[in-house]
Chain A
Amino acid sequence: MVGWEFPPHHTGGLGVHCYELCRELTRLGHKVTFLTPFHGPFTPVEGVTFRWPGSDPAVDARLPGTYDFGPGPGPSALAAIDLYNDWIGALPEVAEHDLLHVHDWFGTVGAVRAAHRTRLPLVMTVHSTEYDRSLGHPWAHILAREQTGLDHADRVIAVSRHLGQQLRERYGVPEGKLRVVYNAVRPSPRLARLEHSRSIVLYVGRLAAMKGVDTFLRAAQRVSEHAPGTLFIVAGEGPEYPRLLTLAAHLGISDRVLFLGHVSEEERDLLLASASVFVLPSVVEPFGIAALEAMAAGVPAVVSKTSGVAEIADSVFAVDFWDTEEFASRITELLRYPELRSAMGARAQWTALKEGWAERALQTVQVYGELTGGKGARTR
Chain B
Amino acid sequence: MQIVLYLHLHQPWRLARFRYLDLGSGRSYFDEPRNLELFRGIAERSYRPALGRLLSALEAHPEFRCSLSITGTFVEQADRAAPDVLELVRALVRTGRVALVAETYYHSLAFLLPPPELAEEVALHRQMLWDRFGARPKVLRMTELAYSDELARFAESQRFHGMLAEGWEGILHGHPPTHVYCAASAPTVQLLLRHYPLSDDVGFRFSSREWSEYPLTSEKYAGWIAATPGEVVNLFMDFETFGEHHKADTGILEFLSALPEAVAVHPRLGWATVEEAIHLPPRESVSAPVTVSWADQNRDLGAWLGNDLQRSAFEAAKKVGVLVEKAGDPELLTSWRRLLTSDHFYYMYVSGHGADAGVHQYFSSYGSPYDAYANYMNALTDLRQRAVARLR
Known A-B contacts A340-B309, A343-B308, A347-B350; the reply to A314 vs B373 at CB < 8 A is no
Q: Are B368 and A226 in contact (CB under 8 A)?
A: no
Cα–Cα, bound, A336→B374 (Å) = 10
> A359 at the A/B interface (Cβ < 8 Å)?
no
Contacts of A347 in B (CB 8 A): 350, 370
Known A-B contacts A337-B377, A343-B308, A343-B350; the reply to A329 vs B370 at CB < 8 A is no
Residues 337-382 (chain B) with a chain A CB within 8 angstroms: 350, 367-368, 370-371, 373-374, 377-378, 381
What's the nearest-Cβ distance from chain B to residue A323, in Å?
Answer: 10
Contacts of B23 in A (CB 8 A): 226
Q: Are B21 and A325 in contact (CB under 8 A)?
A: yes
> B19 at the A/B interface (Cβ < 8 Å)?
yes
Q: Are B21 and A340 in contact (CB under 8 A)?
A: no
Q: Are A329 and B309 in contact (CB under 8 A)?
A: no
Known A-B contacts A315-B368, A333-B374, A337-B377; the reply to A343 vs B309 at CB < 8 A is yes
Q: Which of A314, A332, A339, A342 has the most CB of B within 10 A?
A: A339
Query: A96-139 CB contact bits vs B (8 Å, 1 = yes)?
Result: 00000000000000000000000000000000000000000000
Q: Which residue of B lies closest to A323 (CB)?
A: B19
Query: A326-360 CB contact bits vs B (8 Å, 1 = yes)?
Result: 10111011101101101110010000000000000
Known A-B contacts A226-B21, A328-B21, A333-B374; the reply to A339 vs B309 at CB < 8 A is yes
Known A-B contacts A325-B19, A339-B308; the reply to A333 vs B350 at CB < 8 A is no
Q: Are B21 and A315 in contact (CB under 8 A)?
A: no
Contacts of B374 in A (CB 8 A): 317, 330, 333-334, 337, 340
Tell me the number of A-to-B contacts counted with CB atoms below 8 Å.
59
Contacts of A222 in B (CB 8 A): 21
Residues 278-321 (chain B) with a chain A CB within 8 angstroms: 307-309, 312
Contacts of A334 in B (CB 8 A): 374
> A318 at the A/B interface (Cβ < 8 Å)?
yes
Cα–Cα, bound, A337→B19 (Å) = 13
Cα–Cα, bound, A33→B368 (Å) = 43
What's the nearest-Cβ distance from chain A to residue B97, in Å?
Answer: 46
Find A342's partner among B20, B308, B367, B377 (CB 8 Å cutoff).
B308
Contacts of B312 in A (CB 8 A): 337, 339
Contacts of B19 in A (CB 8 A): 325-326, 329
Cα–Cα, bound, A300→B21 (Å) = 19
Q: Which of A300, A314, A333 has the most CB of B within 10 A?
A: A333
Known A-B contacts A226-B21, A332-B21; the reply to A318 vs B377 at CB < 8 A is no
Q: Which residue of A lies closest to B381 (CB)?
A: A336
Cα–Cα, bound, A334→B309 (Å) = 13
What's the nearest-Cβ distance from chain A to residue B14, in Å?
Answer: 18
Query: B89-129 CB contact bits vs A (8 Å, 1 = yes)?
Result: 00000000000000000000000000000000000000000
Cα–Cα, bound, A318→B368 (Å) = 10
Main secondary structure of the interface of B (DSSP, over half): helix
Contacts of A300 in B (CB 8 A): 370
Residues 259-308 (chain A) with a chain B CB within 8 angstroms: 300
Cα–Cα, bound, A336→B385 (Å) = 15
What's the nearest-Cβ distance from chain A to residue B77, in Å?
Answer: 27
Main secondary structure of the interface of A (DSSP, over half): helix
Known A-B contacts A325-B19, A328-B21, A329-B19; the reply to A314 vs B309 at CB < 8 A is no
Contacts of B22 in A (CB 8 A): 329
What's the nearest-Cβ distance from chain A to residue B350, in Å?
Answer: 7
Q: Which of B21, B312, B377, B381 has the most CB of A within 10 A?
A: B21
Cα–Cα, bound, A178→B95 (Å) = 61
Q: Are A333 and B308 in contact (CB under 8 A)?
A: no
Q: Are B373 and A337 in contact (CB under 8 A)?
A: yes
Q: Which residue of A lies closest to B361 (CB)?
A: A314
Known A-B contacts A339-B309, A343-B309; the reply to A317 vs B21 at CB < 8 A is no
Find A333's partner among B20, B307, B309 (CB 8 Å cutoff).
B20
Cα–Cα, bound, A342→B308 (Å) = 9
Cα–Cα, bound, A314→B307 (Å) = 17
What's the nearest-Cβ distance from chain A to residue B137, in Å?
Answer: 38
Contacts of A340 in B (CB 8 A): 309, 370, 373-374, 377
Q: Which residue of B lies closest to A341 (CB)?
A: B370
Q: Are A344 and B20 in contact (CB under 8 A)?
A: no
Cα–Cα, bound, A329→B23 (Å) = 10
Contacts of A342 in B (CB 8 A): 308
Q: Are A318 and B367 in contact (CB under 8 A)?
A: yes
Q: Are A317 and B371 in contact (CB under 8 A)?
A: yes
Cα–Cα, bound, A333→B378 (Å) = 8
Query: A153-178 CB contact bits vs B (8 Å, 1 = yes)?
Result: 00000000000000000000000000
Cα–Cα, bound, A8→B213 (Å) = 61
Contacts of A333 in B (CB 8 A): 20, 374, 377-378
Contacts of B21 in A (CB 8 A): 222, 226, 325, 328-329, 332
Residues 247-294 (chain B) with a chain A CB within 8 angstroms: none
Contacts of B308 in A (CB 8 A): 339, 342-343
Contacts of A330 in B (CB 8 A): 20, 374
Cα–Cα, bound, A317→B369 (Å) = 11
What's the nearest-Cβ distance from chain A to residue B378, in Å?
Answer: 7
Q: Are B370 and A343 in contact (CB under 8 A)?
A: yes
What's the nearest-Cβ distance from chain A to residue B311, in Å?
Answer: 8
Cα–Cα, bound, A226→B21 (Å) = 8
Q: Are A317 and B20 in contact (CB under 8 A)?
A: no
Cα–Cα, bound, A189→B367 (Å) = 31
Cα–Cα, bound, A222→B19 (Å) = 12
Known A-B contacts A340-B309, A343-B350; the reply to A332 vs B370 at CB < 8 A is no
Q: Are B309 and A317 in contact (CB under 8 A)?
A: no
Contacts of A337 in B (CB 8 A): 312, 373-374, 377
Cα–Cα, bound, A347→B368 (Å) = 11
10 other A-B residue contacts (CB within 8 Å) besides A329-B378, A342-B308: A300-B370, A328-B20, A329-B21, A333-B378, A334-B374, A337-B374, A337-B377, A339-B373, A340-B374, A343-B370
* Closest 5 pairs between A and B when the two form their complex, measured CB to CB: A329-B19, A333-B374, A339-B312, A329-B20, A332-B20
| 24 pairs, CB–CB < 8 Å, chain A vs chain B | A226-B21, A226-B23, A314-B367, A314-B368, A315-B370, A317-B370, A317-B374, A326-B19, A328-B21, A329-B20, A329-B378, A330-B20, A332-B20, A332-B21, A333-B20, A333-B378, A337-B312, A337-B374, A339-B308, A339-B309, A340-B377, A343-B370, A343-B373, A347-B370
Enumerate chain A interface residues (CB-CB to B < 8 A). Answer: 222, 226, 300, 314-315, 317-318, 325-326, 328-330, 332-334, 336-337, 339-340, 342-344, 347
Enumerate chain B interface residues (CB-CB to A < 8 A). Answer: 19-23, 307-309, 312, 350, 367-368, 370-371, 373-374, 377-378, 381
